[in-house]
Structures are given as structure tokens and as C-alpha cells.
Structure 1
Amino acid sequence: MNYGAWPPLFVVDVEGNGASPPDLVEVAALPIREGRPDTSAAGAWLIRPPRPVTPRAAHVHGLTNDCLADSPPWDDLSGAVHDLLGTAWICAHNAHTDYRVLTAHLPDWHPTGVLDTLRLAKTTHPDLPGYSLDTLITHLAPDLSAAPAAGRHRATYDAYATAQLLISMAAHYPTWDELVTAAVPPSLPGAPRPEEDPTLW
């Protein structure tokens, strides 16, 4: 795999307040450059949601209403998130969720394509006992020595872990196009178009 030939790509992760539909409480966007996560150019935002964080959500990611009380609201941050992501590709684990939440909060944002490490893992490693992020970390053992200290279920950590899983699994595919075929769900941007049957005249 020639990582240098990849188009602009951000690995993203979002955390919500537990409401339905969710309000954002954290967003991370980590660029991949030359086959490595570039933490120097990453974006990370804590957001004060308009509705309270539920106890269940706070138990998962540790972001309580008190610790978000001084964070800016989404309206103050949406422009910066939109500008950083631009039209780049994104990658996420179980990407339908992150893509759906981000597009709901950024209605004018249109990524070129969406890679899903969940789909990619099922294609690349079909015999694993499961495909959660925790299971993939256990079985594929990506290098997380430089992962953010925030820990699992925080957006910055999960984006870094997902980035390392993507880089590791991408090594199984000789070209970007083959990676796209394995990693982009059919319903998301960037999915290869099915070949059309030749028309007989």
C-alpha cells in the first residue's frame, strides 16, 4: 500500500449526551499523513450540549454536565469543525453513526467518502470473535503507545485507536481503490458504483 497516494483523510470520533437524537459533547478529527496519524494537526473539541448529559452517557465517556459547563456551545465551534474537515475523506468505526451525527450537526458538510473500519475488519479478518473497537484492539494489537491519555470512550483516544487499526488493515490492500472497495459501506459517500451490465442494442 502506497500511503502517500491517499487523498486527504481524517479519522473522526464523536461522543454524545445520550439524548435521542444526540447532542454532541466531544468531537475529534485526526488526519492521516504518509501512513501515520498526525496529532500535530488534529482537532479536538469539548462542547456544552443544549440538553443535559444523561447519567448513562456520562458513565461511558466520563463527560459530565459539570465538566462541560465552561465549554462553548456547538454554534461557536461548528465553523471550525467544518473548516478542518472540508471535503476530505473521513474514517470512523461503525461509520454510519459518526457520519449521521456529524451531518445532522453540519448540514452543509459533504465529505468525499467515508471509510468504515468495522466493515474493513470484517472483510480483512473474517474469523475474529467480534468486531467492536475493544475486540479489534485486543486481537490486532495496534500501537497505542502514543494514544491520548483521555482513555477509551473519549473521542481523541478512540480516533487514534481507529487510525492505527485503519493503517494496519490497509496494509492488506495493494491500492487505495481496493481499500475503498473493502471499507466503504454501499450507502455512504465514496462507495464504488456497481458495474453496469452492457446494454444490447
Structure 2
Amino acid sequence: MDFGTWPRLLVVDVEGNGANPPDLVEVATIPIDAGQPVPQSGNSTLIRPPRPISRFATGIHHITNQDVDSAPGWESVAPAVQADLDGAWIAAHNAHVDYTVLSRHLPDWQPAGVIDTLRLARATLPDAPAYRLDALLAYTNISVTDISGRRHRAGFDAHAAALLLVNLAAHYPTWEALIAAAVPPNMPGAAAPTTPDHEEQALW
């Protein structure tokens, strides 16, 4: 894999308040440059949601209502988040969740493409016993000891998913081969479906 052929790509992770649909309480982005995550060039921010964080959500990401009490609201951080994301590919584990939440909060934004490391792992590692992020990190012997923070915080999870993406990408000869395996159907960056001529004729 020639990482120099990659477009601008940000690994993203979001955390929510447990509402349905969720309000954002944390967003993190980490770029990949020359085949390496660059967390020092990433962004991570806490967000004060319009509705309280549920006890269930706090139990997962350990972000409390007190933690975000003095954080900016989404309307204050949205322009910076969109400026960071504009023009870039994004990647995430189980990416439809992050893509859906970000799209709802940024209705004028569309990524250049969406890579799902869960989909990619299933294609690349058919013998893996499980496909949760923790299970894949263990299966691929990826160390997370140097990642700051804790699991289920946006910055930590984005960095961990970035390490997984780079590891899995090494199995593919080209960017095009990678995205063929990694981009879910009907998401930005997916190959356009082809329709056989006989099916086109049947429509008329």
C-alpha cells in the first residue's frame, strides 16, 4: 500500500447523550498522514447538549453533565467541526453511526467518502472471532498503551480506529482496492452500482 496516494482522511468518533436521536457531547477527529495517525494534529471537543446526558450514556463514556456544564453548545463549535471535515474522507468503526449523527448535526456537509473499519475488518479478517473494536485490536496485536485518555472517549476511540485502519490497509495493494472493501453501499465514496443492459431495457 502506497499511503502517499491517500486523499485527506480523518478518523472520527462521536459520543452522545443517550437521547433518541442523540445529541453530541464529544467529537474527535484524527488525521492519517503517510500511513500514521497524527493525534497531535487532531481535534477533540466536549459539547454541552440541549438535553441532559442519560445515566446509561455516562456509564459507557463516563462523560457527566457536570463535565459539559461549561462546554460550548453545538451551535458554537459546529462551524469549526465542519471546516475540519470539509473536503475530507472520514473513517470510523461502524461508520454509519458516526456518519448519521454528524450528517444530522451538519446538514450542509457531505464527506468525500466514508470508510467503515468494521466492514473492512470483516472483509480482511474472515477468521477473527469478533469484530468489536476491542476484539479486533486484540486479534491484530495493536497496542493502545500509548493512546492518551480512556476507551469510549472520542479521542481515544478515534486514535484506536486509526491504528486499526492502517493495520488493515496494509493488506491491500492500492487505495482503490481498499475502498472497494471498506466503503458501505450507498455511502459517499462507494462505487456506483452497475445495471445490466437487459435490466435497463426492462424499465422501459
TM-score w.r.t. the length of structure 1 is: 0.96
Q: CA deviation at 1:196?
A: 4.3
Bigger shift: residues 16-25 or 36-45: 36-45
SS at match of 2:66: helix
Which residue identity does 1:44 align to in structure 2? S
Q: Which residue of 1 aligns with 2:168?
A: 169
Counterpart contact for 1:87–1:109, Cα < 8 Å: no
Which aligned pairs between 1:1-201 and structure 2 lie closer than 5 A? 1-148=1-148, 150-197=149-196
State the alpha-carbon separation in 2 of the partners of residues 37 and 67 from structure 1: 27
Which residue identity does 2:162 align to in structure 1? A
Q: CA deviation at 1:87?
A: 1.6
State the alpha-carbon separation in 2 of the partners of residues 69 and 21 from structure 1: 21
Q: CA deviation at 1:73?
A: 0.4
State the alpha-carbon separation in 2 of the partners of residues 144 and 196 from structure 1: 44
State the alpha-carbon separation in 1 of the partners of residues 31 and 6 from structure 2: 11
Q: CA deviation at 1:141?
A: 1.8
CA shift digits 1:89-137 (9 cap, x unpaired) = 0000000000000000011111010000000000000111111111111
Percent identity of paired positions between Structure 1 and Structure 2: 51
Counterpart contact for 2:137–2:143, Cα < 8 Å: no
CA shift digits 1:143-182 (9 cap, x unpaired) = 324312x210000000000000000000000000000000
RMSD of aligned residue pairs (Cα, Å): 1.5
Which residue identity does 1:26 align to in structure 2? E
Which residue identity does 2:174 align to in structure 1? T
Q: CA deviation at 1:198?
A: 5.5
Which residue identity does 1:40 align to in structure 2? Q
Runs (5+) with no aligned partner, structure 1: none
Counterpart contact for 2:44–2:155, Cα < 8 Å: yes
The count of aligned residue pairs is 200
Counterpart contact for 2:115–2:184, Cα < 8 Å: yes
Counterpart contact for 2:119–2:182, Cα < 8 Å: yes
State the alpha-carbon separation in 2 of the partners of residues 118 and 159 from structure 1: 13
Q: CA deviation at 1:38?
A: 1.1
Which residue identity does 2:146 align to in structure 1? A
CA shift digits 1:24-77 (9 cap, x unpaired) = 000000000000011221010100100000000001100000111010100000
State the alpha-carbon separation in 1 of the partners of residues 129 and 164 from structure 2: 17
TM-score w.r.t. the length of structure 2 is: 0.94
SS at match of 1:163: helix
Which residue identity does 2:183 align to in structure 1? V
